Amino acid sequence: MLLDSFTLTWDLEVTIDGGRSFKSVLADKDLRSVGFATDTTWLVLGGANNGEASTLYRTTNGGRSWQFVKTPLVTATTTVSRAQLSRLCGKVRCPSMGML
């Protein structure tokens, strides 16, 4: 397996003969990093350059086939002050203002 980068655009290429030949996998995709859980189970992060959404790919057979991986969700809690809400809702009565 070979993954390296010179311009922040990465290629993932696989060798199974000690480096004599390489085969591109996930060709033409902007890859950012790869994680190797085992010799055959890998996770590859692609996209996310130029504002694109990240894409995760996984293989369990050393790159012969790939599946999209659903990225985990992060729940963020944000606090907004009543003053902020009042400014926002000053011209129009917000549906949620009655809760304050």
Q: Three-class SS of residue 56?
A: strand
Least distance (Å) from other proteins to the CB of residue 32?
Answer: 7
Query: How many CA within 13 A on the CB side of residue 63?
Result: 20
How many residues interact with other proteins (rule CB under 8 A)? 65
Cα–Cα distance measured from residue 83 to residue 91, given in angstroms and rounded to the nearest whole number: 14
Cα–Cα distance measured from residue 56 to residue 26, given in angstroms and rounded to the nearest whole number: 11
Cα–Cα distance measured from residue 12 to residue 3, given in angstroms and rounded to the nearest whole number: 5
Contact between 7 and other proteins per CB under 8 A? yes
Contact between 27 and other proteins per CB under 8 A? no
**Per-residue contact track with other proteins, 29 to 68, x per CB under 8 A?**
---xxxxxxxx-xxxxx--xxxxx-x-x-x-x--------
Binding site for other proteins (CB under 8 A): 1-9, 11, 13, 15, 18-22, 32-39, 41-45, 48-52, 54, 56, 58, 60, 69, 71-85, 88-89, 91-96, 99-100
